[in-house]
Amino acid sequence: MLLALIGEPLMLTRREHDSMGPVDVPADAFWGAQTQRSLANFHIGHERWPRALIRGLGIVKRSAAIVNARHGLIQQAVADAIVAAAEQVIDGSLDAHFPLVIWQTGSGTQTHMNANEVIAFIASRQLGRPVHPNDDVNRSQSSNDVMPTAMHIAAVEDVRLKLLPAVLALRNRLDGKSLEFKDVVKLGRTHGMDAVPLTVGQELSAWVSQLDHGLQAIRNALAHVQELAIGGTAVGTGLNAPLKFGDDVTWEIAGYTQIRFVPAQNRFEALASHDALVELHGALKRLAVSLLKIANDIRILASGPRGGLAELILPANEPGSSIMPGKVNPTQAEALAMVAMRVMGNDGTVALAGSQGLLQLNACKPLIIHTVCESIGLLADATASFDTQCIAGLQVNRPAIAAHLARSLMLVTALTPRIGYERAAAVAQLALAQDLTVREAALQLQVLDAATLDVLLAPERMVAPGLEP
């Protein structure tokens, strides 16, 4: 058939059918009637489904076809054709035939049927006879158990393959820098004000520990996400699926992905809620909080080069101003900070969407998986960029560190055990009023002799307990 709109070129179409009747579909499209109806009915935004979710659908369909054939529910030849088509969905070669936006039915049914139709189209062409998207590709399944299963596969794979390696690489890089600068004593700061000394290595070790705990929180959250809903079909009862179908498909998925996926402990919960993804995103938010703290510390410590602290020297990656020549900005820290803020905002979206599990089905699935995968991808990319483009070239400005440390009033803290809090405060107040060092003020007040002050005020003796003379 030829269709034409006024002023537009002719478009070749073919006639497809679903339970509601005939629909004209572009001749070169691999999808069918239900996908075309969604394209016509939902002109909302431009956000497409994550690649990881489409891959997850392919993995579910591949595994279900194998199990359906094993149970004698579809012919082996049909199963083989479905598996071959599903593997093209998995590897991304059919992505152009998944055109739907996430703003559609809250169950994701239309994108699920998009997968069924594309796989059926490819399988039919390979087999030389019709393969039905519902009766064959979707046998023993429902959108309500397939979509959460694909969502969990997508989230787990993205976390394991993208996020964890990126964060671990940054963690290890920071740990190396902590060791490199472990003997550089510097001025500590609390409340944005001068505090007692610590080493640069100790300061960086806090960031390393934050990332260690963030990594563990994410790993802990994955345990629930690795439970799969498949086998629950429409409401969790497993209607129209053979006994143990869900378990068998889960083991196929686990074998294919080499990830320890397990059957959901309660399939009613797995369909009606997405608490597992809410928990996972909470761990992503926790990581984002840590990354924002690290980015902000970097920005403060590298501020300058003459009007700020200038204790850290960052790589000069690009010009920082269109009007101020020679200006260099902490751009990687800024990008990481923005990503962290986005993820924190996303957490509110996931929590609200996760709360919308009305009776037997949460109908915010597209929004949840889009947001979770966006957060994972942004965190992975920004962390990797921050690692290689900023931390890898990080250096310390030893002269600036030494200058700040020498003029610190809080070195007086080391005198407190000898002269008492009030006399030590008097030393600090005099030093501030007359622009003296603590040593100069202490000598003026004659609180201790010069030799004793030299020992007590040595900053390297203040960076750990038990180092006082």
Contact assessment for residue 194 and residue 409, using Cβ atoms and an 8 Å cutoff:
yes
**What average pLDDT score do residues 398-427 get?**
96
**What average pLDDT score do residues 100-104 get?**
96
Q: Which amino acid is at 21?
A: G
**What average pLDDT score do residues 34-63 get?**
96
Q: Which value, to the nearest 10 degrees, does the dihedral of the CA atoms of residues 259, 87, 120, 145 take? A: 10
Q: Catalytic one among 17, 93, 213, 321?
A: 321
Q: Catalytic one among 19, 43, 46, 191?
A: 191
Q: Would the pLDDT of 130 be above 50? A: yes
Q: Which residue has the tokens 């200058």?
A: 403
Q: How far is CA 379 from CA 35, 44, 300, 433, in A?
A: 32, 26, 22, 47
**What average pLDDT score do residues 247-270 get?**
98
Instruction: Give the confidence band of 367 by pLDDT, cuts at 50, 70, 90.
Output: very high
Q: What is the mean pLDDT of the chain?
A: 95
**124: annotated active-site residue:** no
**152: annotated active-site residue:** no
Q: How far is CA 432 from CA 401, 417, 457, in A?
A: 19, 21, 17
Contact assessment for residue 113 and residue 133, using Cβ atoms and an 8 Å cutoff:
yes
Q: Would the pLDDT of 168 be above 60? A: yes
pLDDT tens track for 11-37? 799 998 888 999 999 999 999 999 999
Name which of 84, 28, 95, 103 is nearest 55 in CA terms.
95
All domains of the chain in start order, with CATH = 2-139 (1.10.275.10), 145-229+266-399 (1.20.200.10), 407-461 (1.10.40.30)
Instruction: Give the confidence band of 458 by pLDDT, cuts at 50, 70, 90.
Output: very high
Instruction: Give the confidence band of 466 by pLDDT, cuts at 50, 70, 90.
Output: confident
Burial of 338 (0-12, 13-18, 19+ CB in 10 A): middle
- The CB density around residue 460, as the number of other CB atoms within 10 Å, is 11
Under 8 Å CB-to-CB from 68, ≥6 apart: which residues?
74, 79, 139, 140
Q: Would the pLDDT of 89 be above 60? A: yes
The 3-class secondary structure across 182-216, one letter per residue, is CCCEEEEEECCEEEEEEEHHHHHHHHHHHHHHHHH
- Report which secondary-structure segment, H or E, holds 357: strand 357-358
| pLDDT of res. 468 | 53
**What average pLDDT score do residues 35-63 get?**
96
| Separation CA 369–CA 381 (nearest Å) | 18
Instruction: Give the confidence band of 204 by pLDDT, cuts at 50, 70, 90.
Output: very high
**What average pLDDT score do residues 238-248 get?**
97
Phi (first) and psi of residue 377, to 5 degrees:
-65, -45
| Separation CA 64–CA 81 (nearest Å) | 13
- The CB density around residue 392, as the number of other CB atoms within 10 Å, is 14
**What average pLDDT score do residues 42-55 get?**
96
| Separation CA 106–CA 361 (nearest Å) | 9
Q: Would the pLDDT of 206 be above 50? A: yes
| Separation CA 39–CA 37 (nearest Å) | 5
Calculate what percentage of the chain has a pLDDT beyond 90: 95
**What average pLDDT score do residues 274-299 get?**
98
Three-state secondary-structure class, residue 33:
helix
| Separation CA 345–CA 350 (nearest Å) | 9
Name which of 281, 301, 158, 165 is nearest 224 in CA terms.
281
Q: Would the pLDDT of 8 be above 70? A: no
| Separation CA 345–CA 371 (nearest Å) | 10
Contact assessment for residue 111 and residue 51, using Cβ atoms and an 8 Å cutoff:
no
Instruction: Give the confidence band of 2 by pLDDT, cuts at 50, 70, 90.
Output: very low
| pLDDT of res. 320 | 87
Three-state secondary-structure class, residue 466:
coil
Q: Which residue has the tokens 């989230």?
A: 155
| pLDDT of res. 296 | 98
Summarize the chain as % helix, strand, coil (round to 5).
60, 10, 30
Q: What is the DSSP string of 130-193?
A: ---IIIIITTT--HHHHHHHHHHHHHHHHIIIIIHHHHHHHHHHHHHHHHHTTT-EEEEEETTE
| pLDDT of res. 391 | 98
Query: Bigger pLDDT: 405 or 6?
Result: 405
**Could you tell me the two tokens for 310?**
């200038």
